[in-house]
Amino acid sequence: MSDFTSDFWHIYVGGLALVSIIACAILLWVSGTTKAATHADNTTGHVWDVDLKEMNNPLPKWWVYLFIITVVFALIYGALYPMFGKFQGALGWSSQGQHATEVKKAEDAIAPVYAKFTGMTPEQMVADPEARAIGERLFMNYCAQCHGSDARGSKSFPNLTDGDWLGGTGHEYIKTTIANGRTGVMPPMAAAVGSAEDVRNLAHYVLSLSGSPNDSVRATLGKEKFAACAACHGPDGKGMHAMGAPNLTDGTWLHGWGEDAIVRAVNNGFTNHMPAQSALLNEAQINVLASYVWGLSTKPGTAQ
Ligand code: HEC
Ligand code: HEC
């Protein structure tokens, strides 16, 4: 239930709670029974502002009863709920337990909404306006902060509408990515390429692959250095899903383009991470959401 590794804090917290309640009860009892020394006129002898005298009257009854009720309430509360350190309380209540019950209740309530989609193919879901509407709402809640509300992404956050994928294709790939997240890793490659001049030449060769503006002399010089990149990006630079390495020939740049951007890529590499969503979304939700995302770059009727 708690993260404490020793019993000390349980005893400390539980003891403190119990001692405070007992101290309140004692204070109540003592102040109700002990009589303070008073003068004959029932004052304590303290006078303020010329004529303001402190009397020694008993506490009002309603106030005393209220005080007794709070002490009794605290003891009953402590017996029912986790208040005294590790003691769970007679009701066995816990905030995690309550959270789990509420999550379960919410999931039971939405299960029928999703039930009709589980039997559908991704194509059918893409064609279904209700599935698309639910998928879009899920996307706005869970994905838009990184991929943009139009799913077109931004620097280092992939565009999900262009049909250009890092690590696979189709509905299954998108489902797996949502559930488990993914990490794209390119190691720093400068040492394998050579001098700073070699890296610049290689950058121009990479730019030439997509027909981007480049210095053709440098590109020719850099061509052979691309051997260091071929293991992941493929000998022709068209990328490799198994390595998560993007196509360098299509003019789509996840991390920015130009000589500087590519030199930086080679020198520093990348570690680009998308967190797993399986703790936030259940399987049925991921299924509908994946169809929505897949539909952004796929027309209904086209094969996966
Ligand atoms: C915290 C930011 C973040 C959130 C939230 C996030 N993503 Fe991502 N996503 C990324 C990053 C970064 C990548 C690229 C990872 C890489 O380079 O391998 C990525 C990659 C992907 C890919 C693979 C793209 C490709 O080209 O292969 C898909 C599909 C995807 N996200 C879908 C989603 C969906 C659907 C959601 C909502 C549940 C979501 N993402 C939420 C940051 C995020
Ligand atoms: C070990 C595999 C690996 C090797 C070797 C490798 N890369 Fe990469 N590269 C990747 C991966 C994976 C990514 C995508 C990182 C991500 O998910 O954000 C990437 C991304 C890039 C990008 C960014 C593409 C974009 O769309 O913005 C460039 C440019 C690049 N690599 C160039 C090179 C060059 C040039 C070499 C050779 C010196 C090279 N890479 C070697 C795996 C590799």
CA 208 to centroid of ligand 1, rounded, Å: 28
Is residue 169 domain-shared with residue 287, that is, in the same domain?
Answer: yes
For residue 36, what are the contacts with CB-CB under 8 A and spacing of at least 6? 44, 56
Q: Is the pLDDT of residue 141 over 80?
A: yes
Instruction: Work out the average pLDDT over 112-140.
Output: 94
In the chain, pLDDT over 70 holds for what percent of residues?
A: 97
User: Is any atom of ligand 2 closer than 6 Å to the C-beta of 131?
Assistant: no
Residue ranges in 119-183 assigned as alpha helix (H)? 122-127, 129-142, 144-147, 170-180
CB 201 within 8 A of CB 264: no
* Interatomic CA distance for residues 283 and 179, integer angstroms: 8
The CATH number assigned to the domain holding 119 equals 1.10.760.10
Give CA angle at 95 (94, 97), nearest 5°: 65
Ligand 1: residue of 274, 286, 292, 298 to mutate (most ligand atoms within 8 A of CB) is 274
Same domain? 268 vs 126: no
Report residue 300's pLDDT band, with 50, 70 and 90 as the boundaries. low
CA atoms of 160 and 173, how far apart (whole Å): 12
Residue 117 lies in a domain: yes
Residue 67 lies in a domain: yes
Residue 200 included in any domain: yes
Q: Given a cut of 80, is residue 140 above it in pLDDT? A: yes
pLDDT, tens digit (0-9, with 9 covering 90-100), for 167-214: 999 999 999 999 999 999 999 999 999 999 999 999 999 999 999 999
- In the structure, what pLDDT confidence band is assigned to residue 290 with cuts at 50, 70 and 90? very high
Residue 252 lies in a domain: yes
Write the residue with the smallest CA distance to atom 10 of ligand 1: 274
CA of 242 to the centre of ligand 1 (A): 17
Q: Which of 263, 257, 264, 234 is nearest to 246 (CA)?
A: 234
> Residue 255: inside a domain, yes or no?
yes
Domain count, the chain: 3
Residue among 254, 235, 258 nearest 246 (CA): 254
Considering the domain boundaries, does residue 95 fall inside one? Answer: no
Residues 174 and 288 in one domain: yes
pLDDT digits (tens, 9 = 90+) for 218-265: 999 999 999 999 999 999 999 999 999 999 999 999 999 899 999 999
Same domain (yes/no): 111, 248: no
| Atom of ligand 2 minimally distant from the CA of 193 | 38
User: Ligand 2 centroid to 215 CA: how many Å?
Assistant: 21
Could you tell me if the CB of 246 is within 6 A of ligand 2? Answer: yes
Does residue 96 sit within a domain?
no
Residue 184 main-chain phi, psi, to 5 deg: -95, 125
Alpha carbons 222 and 203: distance in angstroms, whole number: 7
DSSP string, 59-111: PPHHHHHHHHHHHHHHHHHHHHSS-STT---TT---HHHHHHHHHHHHHHHHH
CA 247 – ligand 2 centroid, Å: 9
- The answer to whether residues 57 and 109 belong to one domain is no
Higher per-residue pLDDT: 54 or 201: 201
What is the rounded CA–CA span in Å between residue 75 and residue 82? 12
Pair 110, 44 in one domain: no
**Domain span at 152:** 102-181+275-296
- Residue located nearest, by CA, to atom 34 of ligand 2: 229
Of the chain, the percentage scoring pLDDT greater than 90 comes to 77
Please tell me whether residues 27 and 165 are part of one structural domain.
no
Cβ burial 52-77 (10 Å sphere, 16+ → b, else e): eeeeeeeeeeeeeeebeeeeeebeee
Q: Do 175 and 282 belong together in one domain? A: yes
**197 and 151, same domain (yes or no):** no
- Contacts for 197 with CB less than 8 Å, ≥ 6 apart: none
From the CA of 224, the nearest ligand is 2
Does residue 202 have its Cβ closer than 6 Å to ligand 2? Answer: yes
In-domain check, residue 93: no
Please tell me whether residues 209 and 153 are part of one structural domain: no
Same domain as 170, residue 282: yes
pTM here is: 0.77
The protein residue whose alpha carbon is closest to atom 36 in ligand 2 is 229
Q: Is the CB of 262 under 6 A from ligand 2?
A: yes
How are the residues of the chain apportioned to helix, strand and coil, as percentages rounded to the nearest 5?
55, 10, 35
Q: What is residue 189's predicted lDDT score, i.e. its pLDDT?
A: 97
Model confidence at 304, in pLDDT bands (50, 70, 90)? very low
Atom 15 of ligand 2, residue of closest alpha carbon? 184
Q: Ligand 1: which residues within 6 Å by Cβ?
A: 142-143, 145-147, 156-158, 160, 165-167, 174, 177-178, 182-184, 244, 272-275, 277, 289, 293
Residue 136 alpha carbon to ligand 1 centre in Å? 15
pLDDT in tens, 61-95: 898 899 999 999 999 999 999 888 888 899 999 99
**216 and 266 inside one domain:** yes
> Hey, whose CA ends up nearest to atom 8 of ligand 1?
274
Say which amino acid occupies 88.
Answer: Q
